[in-house]
Amino acid sequence: MKYIDGGVCAAQGFKAAGLHCGVKSHNTDKKDVALIVSDCDCTASAVYTKNVVKAAPLHVTKAHLRNGVARAIIANSGNANACAPNGEESAEKMCGFVADALGIPAENVIVASTGVIGQTINTSVIEAGVPELVKLLDCSRSQDAADAIMTTDTVRKEAAVELEIGGKTVRIGGISKGSGMIHPNMGTMLCFITTDAAISAPMIKAALLETVKVTFNRISVDGDTSTNDMCAVMANGLAGNAEITEQNEDYSIFVNALADLCRTLARRMAADGEGAKHLITCTVSGADSVEKAETIAKSVISSTLTKAAIFGSDANWGRVLCAMGYSGAEFDPETVDVSFKSQAGEIQVCKAGRGLDFDEDQAKKILTEPEIEILITLKEGNSECTCWGCDITYEYIRINGDYRT
Amino acid sequence: MKYIDGGVCAAQGFKAAGLHCGVKSHNTDKKDVALIVSDCDCTASAVYTKNVVKAAPLHVTKAHLRNGVARAIIANSGNANACAPNGEESAEKMCGFVADALGIPAENVIVASTGVIGQTINTSVIEAGVPELVKLLDCSRSQDAADAIMTTDTVRKEAAVELEIGGKTVRIGGISKGSGMIHPNMGTMLCFITTDAAISAPMIKAALLETVKVTFNRISVDGDTSTNDMCAVMANGLAGNAEITEQNEDYSIFVNALADLCRTLARRMAADGEGAKHLITCTVSGADSVEKAETIAKSVISSTLTKAAIFGSDANWGRVLCAMGYSGAEFDPETVDVSFKSQAGEIQVCKAGRGLDFDEDQAKKILTEPEIEILITLKEGNSECTCWGCDITYEYIRINGDYRT
């Protein structure tokens, strides 16, 4: 498996486009609507936020994907179409515009939105833009689509991989957005994945669920879980591999590549958390179950105090132990080792639950690097888990103190 | 019942003192050790953090209170005595210094600490300071004790009430500290309450548990639950009321007064959250159970994005709905009403789960006041709950980016 260019258009038969339609009126030139289309029908699946309050496009997409078939994705930024009057009607309209322009059933269109909650989305500007978007569709325009779904993101997120399944070259590519409200169980993140693999609807669904659990659900920016999160995948089969219809070796190869791709996108989202200066990777090993290791690692990357300490390049491992302690996981504090690691080196700061005398200058040096690892070892077993987060900064407060207006 | 002066010394027979002993060497004049002493033995009880990682003084206090009797409290700031070598030995020593100076058993001393985790506490400076503290003991020195337990607090917290039980005047007073790491289930908060009520050990324990559940456990500053939280109460019986030995009417009167006092201290802690500019009070009503109302209210006051919106005086009610949605409580989003309220007025922003057109200028005016209420109504039943939190600010990041060094 290798990483290649092309993003969401890397797989055969996929085209994309992004355009400024004016969804958010006073943001005058940012691309705000993305369109992704396959040359032929795809098996498709999506996962959605676990928030009780779900945005209208999620309900519409869920209904459209009931038969496991899709052909296109339309997604906008600037308005979440959540808790807004006539939300489902608006989301259905967006699918209708695409269906009309492409001559496909509206039921084969996936729709997603991200942005401000509670305001009516202006569908007329989207209606006006869709024909232009269809004209722009091209296999070189993954970046435009990636740009169109960005909100407070500072970095475009796209990635693609190439692998071989049964002697055939298969590609999987994706774009994603998400920098605030990211939390395990999906925060306002959108991720659209395309592949030319031939894989049945039940298998693409299983592969997506399995992948999301160990990638996007292991990142956190601020503990808030959005109303709009969605990760959708479409597989058009053009790679010509023998269709994957059961959890055989081909399936495993496919899932491993999909997970690698999603892990890359997840890490980029965490690193681009609103205002973040540091990507924080927390690995808990020596646990007696993966679940426990995950509970502890998530608690550490979600701890506001730990995030503030990393922002200050402060080796305040006490906050790490504290966050472990309130995670809900049972463990013996007297067995915990903690180290900090980065490109500048590694330093152990806690052994068997007690502080070590360590070189503060060296610790500071390690913690000023952009990517910080927090390594936690228990003495219970052989299970481990890694989760990703970011620090909390002045910039986070600035962005979120006045995001809506 | 009325509020009176005197803090932790308001009740008959209690004296206090606070002194700079030098626990945190480079903080040159801040009072850092508090002593509270009763003229006679008290029935006593305490509640502790639910964090799996508990600081040494908590273990020691728990052992000392097994018989429900106490006479004195020693507490320091500047060092948490958590995850540090020989922690319990140090905590026992602190009790020993007090016992020696007062001529009482060490088992009758309650000990608490707050400050940095993982560093050995310097007990020799405390040993040197205790005789001086004992000399300073006076019923006018509640403020000194309150000052001595402050860390990043900006406001001293003390309160006292006077009430009548069975024709006798009873007083309850307390001091507390806590501004960071405050979260439901007790964040680094310390609270010491004294009363001259005559109440049995089992009843003072029951009263404390009942009170903490509806006061301190309903505040949140940053979602982190400390290793050191403790709330202790001592009752010396000098008021001369018929001893409360069962949950009768006298008990109810006592608990109501205790809860009022603790609610006052809790609100002050939330308002003095690290860097906070706004006290946020969230009341959920119309729920089908108090538990559900509490789950939702806690989720809203704990939401980093909601806290950032309040900091920005931004009526971003979408974040309120979002936080309700991921609280874990089941409810119908289509029935939710939301209003913001302050001294400047009240404005409804969401009705039946949908945004209302509201006057943004009026909303801004309401949200610039120091105390903000978020009022949420469900249409399920008659239960309600109020929780308290604060906004998140640049100052919070500054304080916590470099607290340890």
Query: Does pLDDT of B295 surpass 60?
Result: yes
* Mutation to test the A interface, candidates B26, B86, B348, B400, most A Cβ within 10 Å: B400
* Residue A142 near residue A10 (C-beta atoms within 8 A): yes
Q: Which residue has the higher pLDDT, B329 or A224?
A: B329
Per CB-CB distance under 8 Å, the chain B contacts of A52 are 324-327, 329-331, 333
Which is nearest to B220 in space by CA: B316, B303, B152? B303
pLDDT at residue A10, as a whole number: 97
Q: pLDDT exceeding 70 applies to what percent of chain B?
A: 95
Q: Answer whether A118 sits within 8 Å of B317, measured CB to CB.
A: yes
3-state DSSP call for residue B317? Answer: helix
pLDDT at residue A403, as a whole number: 55
pLDDT at residue B404, as a whole number: 56
pLDDT, one tens digit per residue, over B223-241 is 566 788 899 999 999 999 9
Interface of A with B in 40-69 (CB under 8 A): 50-54
Q: pLDDT exceeding 90 applies to what percent of chain B?
A: 74
Per CB-CB distance under 8 Å, the chain B contacts of A353 are 53, 83
**Average pLDDT for chain A:** 91
Secondary structure (H, E, C), chain A = CEEECCHHHCCCCEEEEEECCCCCCCCCCCCCEEEEEEEEEEEEEEEECCCCCCCHHHHHHHHHHHHCEEEEEEEEECECCCCCCCHHHHHHHHHHHHHHHHCCCHHHEEEEEECCCCCCCCHHHHHHHHHHHHHHCECCCHHHHHHHCCCCCCCCEEEEEEEEECCEEEEEEEEEECCCCCCCCCCCCEEEEEECCCECHHHHHHHHHHHHHHCHHHEECCCCCCCCCEEEEEECCCCCCCCECCCCHHHHHHHHHHHHHHHHHHHHHHHCCCCCCCEEEEEEEEECCHHHHHHHHHHHHHCHHHHHHHHCCCCCHHHHHHHHHCCCCCCCHHHCEEEEEECCEEEEEEECCEECCCCHHHHHHHHCCCEEEEEEECCCCCEEEEEEEECCCHHHHHHHHCCCC
pLDDT at residue B127, as a whole number: 98
Q: Answer whether A360 sits within 8 Å of B405, measured CB to CB.
A: yes
Q: Answer whether A326 sits within 8 Å of B400, measured CB to CB.
A: no
Q: How far is CA A80 from CA A191, B85, B138, B321, B359, in A?
A: 15, 52, 61, 13, 21
pLDDT at residue A220, as a whole number: 74
Low-confidence ranges of chain A (pLDDT < 70): 26-27, 179-187, 221-225, 402-405
Report the residue from B54, B119, B331 with minimal CB separation from A355: B119
Q: What is the CA radius of gyration of chain B?
A: 22
pLDDT at residue B94, as a whole number: 98
pLDDT, one tens digit per residue, over B58-82 is 999 999 999 999 999 999 999 999 9
pLDDT at residue A110, as a whole number: 98
- Residues of A with a catalytic annotation lie at 188
Considering B31-35, B180-184, B298-302, the range whose residues carry the highest mean pLDDT is B31-35
DSSP label at residue B285: E
Sheet of A337-342, strand order: A219-220, A383-390, A279-287, A371-377, A337-342, A345-351, A354-355
Secondary structure (H, E, C), A312-364 = CCCCCHHHHHHHHHCCCCCCCHHHCEEEEEECCEEEEEEECCEECCCCHHHHH
Active-site residue, B154 included? no
Provide DSSP, B164-223: EETTEEEEEEEEEE--SS--TT--S-EEEEEE---B-HHHHHHHHHHHHHHTGGGB-SSS
Q: Is B382 exposed, middle or buried (0-12, 13-18, 19+ CB in 10 A)?
A: exposed
ipTM: 0.73
Q: Does B4 touch chain A (CB under 8 A)?
A: no
**A15, β-bridge pairs:** A37
Report the residue from B52, B180, B322 with minimal CB separation from A224: B322
Report the residue from A227, A360, A396 with minimal CB separation from B322: A227
pLDDT at residue B181, as a whole number: 47
Nearest residue of B to residue A315, measured between CA atoms: B404
DSSP label at residue B333: G
- Distance (Å, rounded) from C-alpha B123 to C-alpha B182? 27
Q: How far is CA B356 from CA A313, B313, B347, B360, in A?
A: 44, 18, 10, 11
Q: Answer whether A354 sits within 8 Å of B85, measured CB to CB.
A: yes
Which is nearest to A112 in space by CA: A71, A55, A151? A55
Domains and CATH numbers, chain A: 2-271 (3.60.70.12), 279-401 (3.10.20.340)
**CA distance, residue B306 to nearest chain A CA (Å):** 9
- Distance (Å, rounded) from C-alpha A365 to C-alpha A344? 7
pLDDT band for position B217 (cuts 50, 70, 90): confident
Task: Bin A343: left if φ > 0, else alpha if -120 < ψ < 50, else beta.
Answer: alpha
pLDDT at residue A184, as a whole number: 41
CB-CB neighbours of B206 under 10 Å: 18
pLDDT, one tens digit per residue, over A237-274 is 999 999 999 999 999 999 999 999 999 998 888 888 77
pLDDT at residue B184, as a whole number: 41
Candidate from B159-173, B222-236, B331-345 with smallest mean pLDDT? B222-236
Q: Which residue has the higher pLDDT, B285 or B84?
A: B285
pLDDT at residue A392, as a whole number: 85
Which is nearest to B45 in space by CA: B210, B232, B176? B232
* Residue B280 near residue A369 (C-beta atoms within 8 A): no
Interface of A with B in 364-403 (CB under 8 A): 392-394, 396-398, 400-403
CB-CB neighbours of A294 under 10 Å: 24
Nearest residue of B to residue A319, measured between CA atoms: B117
pLDDT at residue A405, as a whole number: 47
Helix (H) or strand (E) holding B350: strand B345-351
- Distance (Å, rounded) from C-alpha B317 to C-alpha B332? 16
3-state DSSP call for residue B293? Answer: helix
Interface of A with B in 130-169 (CB under 8 A): none
- Distance (Å, rounded) from C-alpha A192 to C-alpha A174? 5
pLDDT at residue A155, as a whole number: 86
- Distance (Å, rounded) from C-alpha B144 to C-alpha B264? 20
Q: Does A28 touch chain B (CB under 8 A)?
A: no
Provide DSSP, B231-258: EEEEE--TT-PPPB-SSSHHHHHHHHHH
- Distance (Å, rounded) from C-alpha A147 to C-alpha A155? 9
Q: List the catalytic residue out of B114, B151, B152, B188.
A: B188
Query: Does pLDDT of B27 surpass 70?
Result: no
Candidate from B118-127, B187-196, B330-339 with smallest mean pLDDT? B187-196
Nearest residue of B to residue A183, measured between CA atoms: B326
3-state DSSP call for residue B229? Answer: coil
Which is nearest to B61 in space by CA: B42, B74, B50, B52? B74
3-state DSSP call for residue B302? Answer: helix
* Residue B298 near residue B327 (C-beta atoms within 8 A): yes
pLDDT at residue B179, as a whole number: 62
Interface of A with B in 69-108 (CB under 8 A): 80, 82-85
pLDDT band for position B398 (cuts 50, 70, 90): confident
Sheet of B345-351, strand order: B354-355, B345-351, B337-342, B371-377, B279-287, B383-390
Q: Answer whether B308 sits within 8 Å of A396, measured CB to CB.
A: yes
**A16, β-bridge pairs:** A36, A138
Those residues with Cβ within 8 angstroms of residue A293's Cβ, 6 or more apart along the chain or in another chain: A284, A285, A287, A378, A383, A384, A385
* Residue A182 near residue A222 (C-beta atoms within 8 A): yes
Size of chain A in residues: 405
